[in-house]
Structure 1
Amino acid sequence: MHQHIVAANRYNARHGRPGQALLEKVAASELVLVSTGAGDWLASNGSLEKVEGGFVLNAVKHFASGSPAGDVLVTSAPWQDPDAGWQVLHFPVSLRGEGVSVLDNWHPLGMRGSGSNSVKIENAFVPEASIVVRRPRGDFHMIWSVVLPVALPLIMSVYCGVAREAAARARERCRTSPDPVTPYLLGEMENALTAAELAVESMIMLTDEFRFEANLETVNEVVKRKTIAAEACKLTTAKALEACGGPGFMRGNGIESLFRDVMASHFHPIQEKRQHLFTGSLAMGQQPPGQAF
């Protein structure tokens, strides 16, 4: 998650937007950034109370990957502006600041090593000067046209790596299998792995070394490939486990843990059915509805 925040600011800096100062600060102090963007998404959560010089924040931010080792929480919260109505404000919060604590509640099916603990924030002060983005609450905003194209290739590369490892273990395990069905299962596995690799490679090409256009068309192309990659990674790992037969189900072979890990690929935005709605709406010449997010 640190990488995609850095990548988004690298894009902004390249295109003449604020971002260079953060990159320099991260490099100089070796800061670890933690994002709550996927959990907050368009509506965000928590509460902000306006006080002199800034806001008082109360919230619990879930799926804050890397939070046990993080330095800065890059987060957001909703606020009802007296004039503009409901907005979402984006800002950093020190993970070592007063009123900020990392909860010991990351007990998932897979990806147990990601440290995606929730972060509890109680009466933390957010200076007005720390607000970096203000956007309408619940609406798709330009910020996601930068974040999704740089984040999803990084994220899906992890799951592609998981699928590759599962396939490698299955090949080794099944090398001397006498079962006549095994080659069919391995063939399915190899096809799925190739689809995953092609989708991820294509996502990386779309970013074009941060030269991509930050718009809905780019987001659409990236999220289509995200769905294809996620499904292919899951199928690869499932076929790897199946090809190994009963022993593949046992913990000692390691494939079962990879199978659990790769299931998390679905939950990163935009999830499959929402992506179908998003892409299908654009195909009809319509703006994607709020349900697509």
Structure 2
Amino acid sequence: MAQVMDRSKTAIDFNATAKTLAESFSGKAQEHDNNDKFVAENYAELKSAGLICAAVPAELGGQGASVRTLCEVLSIISAACGSTGLALAMHTHQVAIPAWRWHHQEPARPMVEPLLRRIAAEKLVLLSSGGSDWIGGSGKADRVDGGYKITARKVFSSGAPAGDILMTSAIFEENGEKTVLHFGAPMAAPEVTVLDTWHTMGMRGTGSHDVQIDGLFIADDKIPLQRKAGEWHPAFQMIATIAFPLIYAVYLGVAQSARDIAIDIAGMKPISHRAQAIAGRMENALVAARLAHNFMIEAAERNAPSANTVNDVMIGRRLVEENTIRTVELAMELAGGASFYRRTELERRFRDIQAARYHPLQKEVQAEYAGAMALGHPIAEIY
């Protein structure tokens, strides 16, 4: 197996690049939030800076960034604009997954290399339909000559207005057996439509609209994976291991920025033991989130996706969720009444951080999965 190489030191300075972009994105974030406006102009800057192809191996024309480096970038950007960070994370994990396969699964190289080269050369934006297409799958695939006709409605497709390819799936049913077919749907196809549905409490600029697919033909040779519906597959162990550290880096960045805003506001007030205690609890929660997130990254860095790795990642995911939300709540409390004003930008962080609740595995399912693992019970259908 090839070793993962982080070539960020010889390509671009990711930390400095992310900070420069964050300064630009910060000034526009409130407008996007106020108007449910997709962060379209930020994508142009992300492409120009090389971050759209950051996860592509350097040998294929990308930046060769590791999962850890990508997480740092996503946290910095999300501190300025959670919507840009989350939309970028959804693209980034769809690139990081085939990149991982290129590094670690040599037989998969001919399958994933053409896409990775296209992302680097054409700056393609990949969309994830993960909100629709977790392990149960969704949508319908009807068998036709040479392939399938797809009918589906995919929700939570972050970055939809800027997307080039929707990485998605549909269910083919035959003789009572359900098979999930995975494929990429070209967003420019006439059978694919972005619906204006993303009007939400938080993360308003992500453009996570529904995508409607009506009779799109997918040829047999464009379906790289088929799996049984409704149970864990090794491919999903890999997806969960790589994707969730990247996604939850976003919430760590949102929490960090809320903490910083609250500290600045509290610093202008008289010294108070109560404020010190609130600030201390906020610091505890933020450090707990950082530690849990690092635990997720370390699980990914083992480069050995399995049920155990998924368990570690999902335990970390739950702890990051809990503690980032708690951090922002305490930031609101520390800032006091000032936090209620939009101009302080704390209330936006409070709304954005709520999205941490809704990615798989949500808390009750995660607890069931972890408990089954501890007890030695089957986990194949816990998702």
TM over 0.5: yes
Code of the aligned partner of 1:70: G
Counterpart selection for 2:238 from 143, 146, 157: 146
State the secondary structure of the residue aligned to 1:39: coil
Question: TM-score by structure 2 length?
Answer: 0.73
**Structure 1 stretch displaced more, 9-18 or 222-231:** 9-18
Residue 79 in 1 paired to residue 172 in 2? yes
What's the counterpart of residue 201 of structure 1? 294
What's the counterpart of residue 370 of structure 2? 279
State the secondary structure of the residue aligned to 1:229: helix
Residue 288 in 1 paired to residue 375 in 2? no
What's the counterpart of residue 6 of structure 1? 95
How many angstroms apart in 2 are the aligned matches of 1:85 and 1:8? 28
Give a deviation string over 1:186-218, Cα, whole Å, max 9, x none: 11111101111111122222222xx52111011
CA contact under 8 A between 2:131 and 2:155: conserved in structure 1?
no
What's the counterpart of residue 19 of structure 1? 112
Code of the aligned partner of 2:190: E
Residue 21 (structure 1) shift: 2.5
Counterpart selection for 1:118 from 210, 213, 223: 210
How many angstroms apart in 2 are the aligned matches of 1:143 and 1:108? 31
**Cα distance change on mapping 1:244 and 1:169 into 2, 3 Å:** same
How many angstroms apart in 2 are the aligned matches of 1:103 and 1:229? 31
1:36-185 paired onto structure 2 within 5 Å: 36-82=129-175, 85-178=177-270, 179-185=272-278
How many angstroms apart in 2 are the aligned matches of 1:227 and 1:70? 29
CA contact under 8 A between 2:192 and 2:211: conserved in structure 1?
yes
Residue 64 (structure 1) shift: 0.4
How many angstroms apart in 2 are the aligned matches of 1:38 and 1:116? 10
CA contact under 8 A between 2:231 and 2:380: conserved in structure 1?
no
Code of the aligned partner of 1:7: A
**Cα distance change on mapping 1:28 and 1:81 into 2, 3 Å:** farther
State the secondary structure of the residue aligned to 1:203: helix
How many angstroms apart in 2 are the aligned matches of 1:39 and 1:173? 40
Structure 2: unaligned runs, 5 residues or longer = 1-89
What's the counterpart of residue 235 of structure 1? 326
State the secondary structure of the residue aligned to 1:112: coil
**Structure 1 stretch displaced more, 9-18 or 110-119:** 9-18
Structure 1: unaligned runs, 5 residues or longer = none
Residue 37 (structure 1) shift: 2.3
Question: TM-score by structure 1 length?
Answer: 0.95
How many angstroms apart in 1 are the aligned matches of 2:355 and 2:125? 23
Residue 23 (structure 1) shift: 1.0
State the secondary structure of the residue aligned to 1:105: coil
CA contact under 8 A between 2:232 and 2:380: conserved in structure 1?
no
State the secondary structure of the residue aligned to 1:4: helix
Code of the aligned partner of 1:145: Q
Counterpart selection for 1:212 from 265, 286, 303: 303
State the secondary structure of the residue aligned to 1:114: coil
What's the counterpart of residue 282 of structure 2? 189
**Structure 1 stretch displaced more, 30-39 or 164-173:** 30-39
Question: How many correspondences in the alignment?
Answer: 289
CA contact under 8 A between 1:212 and 1:218: conserved in structure 2?
no
CA contact under 8 A between 1:13 and 1:19: conserved in structure 2?
yes
What's the counterpart of residue 57 of structure 2? none
What's the counterpart of residue 263 of structure 1? 354
State the secondary structure of the residue aligned to 2:157: coil
CA contact under 8 A between 2:192 and 2:212: conserved in structure 1?
yes
Residue identity over aligned pairs, in percent, reads 37
Residue 289 (structure 1) shift: 5.8
Residue 260 (structure 1) shift: 0.5
Code of the aligned partner of 2:344: N
Code of the aligned partner of 1:79: F
How many angstroms apart in 2 are the aligned matches of 1:77 and 1:27? 27
